[in-house]
Amino acid sequence: MKNSKKTLLIIGGGFAGMTIITQTYKQFNIILLDQKSYFEFIPSIFNCFIHPESIFDLTLQFKNSKFGILFIQGKLTHIENNIAFYEGGKIEFDYCAITIGSNYTHPIKSNIPKLSDRFIELKKTQQKIIESSTILIIGGGTVGVELACEIKSSYKSKTVALITKSKILSTMPKSASDYAKKRMNDLGIEIQENYKGHSLNSNFDLVFNCKGNSYESVRLDDNFEMFDPQKQFLVDEYLKIRTNPKVYCAGDICLSSQNETKTAFSAEMQGEIVAYNLKHPNKLIKSYWIPNTYIISLGGWKAIFVFETFTFGGFLPYLMKLFIEIVVVNDFRGVFGFNTIHQIMNYIVYFMLYIYMIFQLLYAIAPLGSKIKQDQRIELKRIQQEIEEFKKQ
């Protein structure tokens, strides 16, 4: 790597990290540090609980990257000034992007280092599902709902129950929650909302914990003040770590002022902002609004598309998710043409945001318009009365 380019260290090759790689590999010498040797398209992981071999369609091995990066396998422990320390060594950088994401319970999200071992883990999970006749899912967010639907739609005779301390998809629009609940009822999933009772784990053959993301401690310059209680990194409006101007942050681990919902899409969008700022150090852009968009799989070729407060369900969202999976994985694999399709896809999302905002505005203005008309009618009536009275005189 002896050339005039600066060294960019990317820590974590997930959605945010891979987006930064695809957009900056021509300008920087890139070193990727990841505890795993592969990228995994997590949003479709439950398909691998039923068909483990499909993991190979959802992954790419960093050592085969076509972006000319240097891949080092290791787990980041801390960063001091411009040196990142990992279990086994240290790396000096000119710029760094921390994109280490979040953790989820095994086997849903895994930090198993080798892809072949991840495949074995998924095969074992499939076996456990096959052998269990009663399965409990704890948590009624997107992950819990997807998992319950995936299992029940594939194994109709099994008892699948889901308990949640609030409502199903409580953070999503009501229409999405209603659609998901109807689908779950149709599939025969037993749902218990607002569950405050004792643990039911011992009543079931298999239990999946789907209570949400967690974060690991990584130390930066011995300054713990930059952590929020959840251990995410606080960033400024340019997505820079507040105490180190050479270090950017994006994705699940990043706590920005928008406090956006943590999704693969928001990780990619933040990755794009970081990539732009790395390439234009004298023309930094501020983090822009990231729309809240999500596709929730409901098993059996059905899904719900959520865009801010707008939702629709059925076969089309299922196809959209499949299309996104193919585009994203092939873009990150460096397959020719897919980066352009991926970019167009992201522009379409922003175009939808503009349309959505126009509709919201019209909705807000419409009652105002009728109020003005009503006021005008009253005024007109008053003037007519005055004219009538004047005539009488």
Could you tell me where the DSSP H helices lie in 161-248? 174-187
Closer by beta carbon to ligand FAD, 189 or else 317: 317
Question: By CB under 6 A, is residue 42 in contact with ligand FAD?
Answer: yes
Chain positions 347 to 366 lying near ligand FAD, rule: CB under 6 A, are: none
Question: By CB under 6 A, is residue 208 in contact with ligand FAD?
Answer: no
Closer by beta carbon to ligand FAD, 322 or else 335: 322
Asked if 184 and 299 touch (Cβ cutoff 8 Å), the reply is no
Tokens of 356: 């959505």
Closer by beta carbon to ligand FAD, 133 or else 230: 230
Q: How many residues bind ligand FAD (CB under 6 A)?
A: 35
In the complex, minimum distance from the CB of residue 252 to ligand FAD, in angstroms, rounded to a whole number: 4
Q: Which stretch binds ligand FAD (CB under 6 A): 35-43, 49-57, 88-96, 155-163?
A: 35-43
How many whole angstroms separate alpha carbon 385 and alpha carbon 171?
Answer: 54
How many whole angstroms separate alpha carbon 247 and alpha carbon 253?
Answer: 13
Tokens of 359: 């509709």
How many whole angstroms separate alpha carbon 156 and alpha carbon 152?
Answer: 5
Site track for ligand FAD across 241-270, x = CB under 6 A: ----------xx---------xxxx-x---
Among 8, 9, 10, 16, binds ligand FAD (CB under 6 A): 16
HSE-CB at 140 with a 13 A cutoff on CA atoms is: 25
Letter for the amino acid at 171?
T
Closer by beta carbon to ligand FAD, 252 or else 331: 252
Q: Which stretch binds ligand FAD (CB under 6 A): 34-42, 88-96, 232-240, 337-345?
A: 34-42
How many whole angstroms separate alpha carbon 208 and alpha carbon 162?
Answer: 10
Closer by beta carbon to ligand FAD, 42 or else 335: 42
Closer by beta carbon to ligand FAD, 34 or else 331: 34
Under 8 Å CB-to-CB from 387, ≥6 apart: which residues?
none
Question: By CB under 6 A, is residue 294 in contact with ligand FAD?
Answer: yes
Which residue reads 């194994």 in tokens? 155
> Buried b vs exposed e over 273-301: b needs ≥16 C-beta within 10 Å?
bbbbbbeeeeeeeebeebbbbbbbbbbbe
What is the binding site for ligand FAD (CB under 6 A)? Answer: 11-17, 33-36, 42-43, 45, 75-76, 99-102, 104, 108-109, 111, 143, 218, 251-252, 262-265, 267, 294-295
